[in-house]
């Protein structure tokens, strides 16, 4: 299942970086593309902080947190035998890894890079594909925890044992 998690993470990373490349080339002149009126638009923003640009002065700390998340999720994903957990952790790993790459290698410099955001949700916040993967992955992790689905099936049990609702 580790390979599945890595494959999902790689797809998230490639999709996120490709869409950021597109956004930088198509939206860099201040262009805004409305998809659903003012509810969903595409506009380019460089975010030095976390969600809602919180902590903009501490970009390097977000690089450290992203690196720690990548290491921690990779360690956990290596032990997973559950398909659902592999999907969830792959989504989280891909989102964290692509944010780490932004922090490390984008302007204004190493470990101070700004994340490229371009999906504007009604002016509430602007995100990217990695954010979507992170939210979905964390949501699945929470659901799996609530359902009591183990990371690893015990010997002799089916790989995807989900507790009954009784």
Block residue for tokens 């049990």: 157
Task: Answer yes or no: is 160 within a domain.
Answer: no
Give the residue numbers spanning the domain of 91.
2-118+126-147
Strands 33-36 and 40-47: antiparallel
Q: What is the spatial distance between Cα 23 and Cα 165, in angstroms, rounded to a whole number?
A: 45
pLDDT category of residue 61 using cuts at 50, 70 and 90: confident
Q: What is the spatial distance between Cα 135 and Cα 133, in angstroms, rounded to a whole number?
A: 6
The whole-model pTM stands at 0.87
pLDDT digits (tens, 9 = 90+) for 104-157: 999 988 878 899 999 999 999 999 999 999 999 999 999 999 999 999 866 555
Q: How many domains does the chain have?
A: 1
Task: Answer yes or no: is 143 within a domain.
Answer: yes
Task: Answer yes or no: is 8 within a domain.
Answer: yes
Task: Answer yes or no: is 165 within a domain.
Answer: no
Task: Answer yes or no: is 157 within a domain.
Answer: no
16 is a catalytic site residue: no
User: Which residue is catalytic, options 16, 102, 120, 131?
Assistant: 131
Task: Answer yes or no: is 159 within a domain.
Answer: no
Block residue for tokens 């720690």: 68
Task: Answer yes or no: is 156 within a domain.
Answer: no
């Amino acid at each position: 299942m580790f390979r599945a998690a890595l494959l999902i993470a790689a797809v998230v990373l490639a999709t996120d970086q490709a869409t950021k490349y597109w956004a930088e080339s198509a939206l860099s002149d201040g262009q805004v593309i409305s998809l659903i009126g003012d509810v969903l638009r595409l506009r380019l923003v460089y975010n030095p902080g976390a969600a809602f640009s919180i902590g903009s002065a501490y970009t390097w700390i977000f690089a450290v947190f992203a690196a720690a998340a990548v290491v921690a999720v990779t360690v956990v994903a290596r032990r997973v035998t559950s398909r659902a957990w592999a999907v969830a952790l792959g989504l989280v790993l891909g989102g964290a890894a692509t944010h780490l790459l932004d922090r490390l290698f984008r302007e204004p410099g190493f470990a101070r890079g700004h994340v490229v955001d371009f999906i504007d949700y009604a002016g509430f916040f602007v995100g990217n594909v990695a954010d979507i993967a992170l939210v979905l992955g964390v949501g699945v992790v929470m659901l799996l925890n609530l359902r009591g689905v183990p990371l690893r099936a015990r010997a002799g049990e089916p790989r995807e044992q989900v507790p009954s609702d009784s």
